Chains A and B, each alone.
Chain A
Amino acid sequence: MAVLTSGFATALSGGNELEKILSLAKRAGAEAEVFFTSYEKLPAIFEANRLKQLKANQGTLVALRIIKGGRVGFAITTRLDNRQELVNRAVEVSQFGASARFELPLRQFYPQIEVYDSEINGVTVGQMVELGESLIARLRAHSPELVCDVEVAKETALVQISNTRGGEASYHKSVIDIAIEGILTRGTDMLFVGDEASSCHPIRDVDELACSVINQLELAEKEASVATGYLPVIFTPHGVASAFIPSLALGFNGRIVLEGASPLGNRLAEQVFDPRLSLRDDATIIYQPRSRPCDDEGIPSQRTSLIENGVVKSFLYDLQTAGLANTQSTGNGDRSGGLPAPRVSALVIEPGDIAFEDMVKDLREGLVVEQLMGAEQTNILGGEFGGNVLLGYKVEKGEIVGRVKDTMVSGNVYKVLSELAAIGKETRWIGGMISTPAIFCPKLEVTSKS
């Protein structure tokens, strides 16, 4: 198959343009910061077991933030040819903007955090297609009826930040991502299985992914039922990500804390969680897709301990929120296409000492939750979660006996995580966003149709 990738060569550089925008902003009487990103993403998309589409997404974004008369102005464009208009817009909205409670960072030293592997340029579309094909073939060899959607994508990006106080940062990033979703239909019964892997390094084989999905298929082969009531529940890493993380990401957000809307806000240094639970935000792990040498405001990345042995240690801040809260930025200024705001970079839950198998062995009757659907569509600010067990298994006498359906699990993160039965010793990454072991909760509300 021919090579289509143009790779890094096409990622535009903002270069001089950024300096020109900054000097226009200066002329308008403002301190200013320009954030520039340019990316190219090449996904190969398989639908219903077959290659369906090859894509090339190329894009650029320029975001200008100014401080004029003590107020923040902000404007975004995809065009580099309209500098004066960009500055005019930022100036126009600055009269309504929030009072700036920070100063743009000076030139500084950044930690060496590698998130770009040049070998990604050698990954051809043909190789990406082969990865997808071999993954589908492996799964269909196990379950011939399985209908798979797969996306294999590689992305390269350049980020540049520059401000009128001399602050300057720039880095390249490479990411390969493989996601698989399979449906097995029997009558009107549908079984959903799936997993995902991502890395800044090229991914050369799909062995781990295939094993993970085959394991789901095997555990879900039989059906089992569960009665409404309170049961012990083991959340697998996927389960942890779908049930607990949306609430925790808000609860530790400095902005939510500042507003007094986080249940954790006034519990700094208190024992809120189980003493075995430790959680940190960490953008410094090399070659992890969410890592970076600095945040989107040019503040060096760091490891921030959020929970240490169950004690609330700190919250996550960007520059403005830190200024309002009288503290320092934790390097969590994240843009997501808009004005910087505090957001988690990547969360790491420390492993415990119990093997997953031993947790299951310990269980007389209970559930294993792999995927909770809709869990985040409730009052997550208050810590609540509740959803349909899209993929989960019944445990009887220490053994997984089959998959449950028509079953809901709900609870409150702050109560549930305050007393755990065990924390698993095996950890894994989910979506590049969180590294977590399995978490075993002694008692949760389970509602079932049967």
Chain B
Amino acid sequence: MYKGEALGDQMREVLKKYHADYIEVRLEESEATHIQYRGRELENLSKSQSLGGNVRAQVRGGWGFVSFNNVNGMGDKIELAIRQAGLVGKEISRLAPAEPVVDIVRVMTKKNAATVPVVEKKLLLDEYNEIIWSTPQIQTSSITYRDSSKKVIFANSEGSYIEQDKSDLALRITAIAREGEEVQQAGLSVGSNGNFAQIEGLHQQVKETARLAVEMLSAPEVEGGEYTVVLDPVLAGVFAHEAFGHLSESDFVYENEQLREIMVLGRRFGGKHLNIVDGAAIPDLRGSYKYDDEGVPATKTYLIQEGVLVGRLHSRETAAKMKETPTSNARAIGYRYPPIVRMTNTLIEPGSVSFEEMMGEIKTGIYVKNWYGGTTSMEMFTFSAGEAYMIRHGRIAELLRPVVLTGNVFATLENIDAIGNDLGINQGGGCGKGGQYPLPVSNGSPHLRIRHCLVGG
């Protein structure tokens, strides 16, 4: 597939010749297929190919980073990164210890999308699009499909040499309904670690999505205010990611004394029923891998156990500065970026409350499903539901227009008063941080009930 292998083999030898506290080199070759429909017709089917890499060096605590497409002249690039780091560094370099690893990880995905003929992909998407178009009152549709597979070579000055295959797949199907100037949309987002079979057989869900878009045209807007809300597992997964996951990323905390005090291990965030975990070692999901982009083997990290903060996500640098252990959460979306602390697969663990029990106690509330998106400022978060219903006397009542929910992380987790006994995983979408988007992640949760949640239209 590529001629990077020879380059990679030499890397460890080459790195020995340079003087810096730490150096790593990454080379990446990738191929992607992109299929897009806007309306009935296919708008774009394209194949892209990329070869590139980067060098990252640390000198006296400062970092230099060089990314490139032209892989010739590696020596100059390494020297530039070291020179940059030297200009920045004024302290001592600190990286948490990581055993050097030599390993070759080949992709084991079932029905890898990279091997599926383009025509088969197109036929499946044609079927989905046709389902939307055969729904009365649908104005148009939008489908975005992307699969990618890449081979990454990583070597560092501590003797690690890792070749890792990665594959990913994301599909978003949107149905758009219109009446007069009223435009409503409903979406379905799915993804996998490259397994094409996971996006097959969605016909019924696509049909529901189209029907929902039409129904929203005649749905009322929510009256803004505080409500008891029940989140379905898909939206609850997004909630876990936005409302708590990002706050667990140590790069926000490690250089900020005040935040370190707030995020002290042992602090109570929620009830005893609340357990939140993140880890790339949870297998076969979009955020799963064997080694992170610093070559640290994947782990599974409890962030909250029985309502108490017990852990956080680290790179080697944040772990060293906080005197904790690296958790294999240093990730980069590609060779143009240095690894930063990111989530992988973030889950709220199931509790013991059935859906019926959860709903039964609610006189007036809102049941929210599916997602449009979510974002966080650490303290405050918002997330928006693709589908919302009033709850009246313990039952799901009328459909509402999409709603936006917001809250304060320090209050909202305590307001979770019921955790379902089910579990659903959301693999759609992708995470954005520091200009790096979309990063493959997954999130999951049982149904959740949250009291006093601020809801707006």
Contact = CB atoms under 8 A, between A and B. Distances in A.
Contact of B378 (A47, A75, A190, A267): A190
B170 interface: no
B109 to A, nearest CB: 22
A446 to B, nearest CB: 8
Most buried by B among A74, A129, A259, A382: A382
Given A79-B69, A187-B262, 20 more contacts: A4-B80, A50-B255, A53-B62, A59-B67, A79-B51, A93-B118, A97-B42, A147-B256, A183-B259, A185-B259, A185-B262, A190-B379, A260-B140, A260-B178, A261-B140, A373-B380, A379-B402, A406-B454, A410-B404, A447-B456
Of A82, A255, A381, most B-chain CB atoms within 10 Å: A381
Contact of B122 (A58, A96, A188): A96
Q: Which of B43, B69, B372, B454 has the most CB of A within 10 A?
A: B69
Contact of A78 (B51, B140, B176): B51
Interface stretch (A166-174, A285-293, A384-392): A384-392
Interface string B339-375: 0000000000000000000000000000000001111
A386 B64 contact: no
Interface string B190-224: 00000000000000000000000000000000001
Contact of B224 (A74, A378, A447): A447
B303 interface: no
B401 to A, nearest CB: 7
23 contacts: A1-B87, A2-B83, A48-B255, A53-B65, A56-B66, A57-B66, A75-B47, A77-B50, A78-B69, A79-B50, A86-B49, A89-B47, A89-B49, A185-B262, A192-B377, A259-B176, A262-B183, A339-B46, A377-B384, A379-B401, A382-B185, A408-B406, A445-B456
B6 interface: no
Nearest to B226: A449
Given A377-B374, A449-B226, A259 B454 contact: no
Contact of B262 (A76, A188, A384): A188
Nearest to A79: B51
Contact of B46 (A75, A183, A341, A410): A75
Nearest to A89: B47
B421 interface: no
B293 to A, nearest CB: 15
Interface string A364-382: 0000000001101111011
Interface residues of A, number: 83
Interface in A45-66: 47-48, 50-61
Interface of A: 1-2, 4, 12, 47-48, 50-61, 74-79, 82, 85-86, 89, 92-93, 96-99, 125, 129, 145, 147, 183, 185-190, 192, 228, 255, 258-263, 267, 338-339, 341, 373-374, 376-379, 381-384, 386-388, 390, 405-406, 408-410, 414, 445-449
Contact of A388 (B87, B88, B225, B406): B406
B264 to A, nearest CB: 12
A100 to B, nearest CB: 12
Contact of B404 (A56, A374, A449): A374
Given A77-B48, A445-B457, A260 B139 contact: yes
B347 to A, nearest CB: 22
Given A47-B255, A74-B44, A378 B384 contact: yes
B65 to A, nearest CB: 4
Nearest to A374: B382
A53 B88 CA distance: 6
A447 B401 CA distance: 16
B185 A384 contact: no
A188 B410 contact: yes
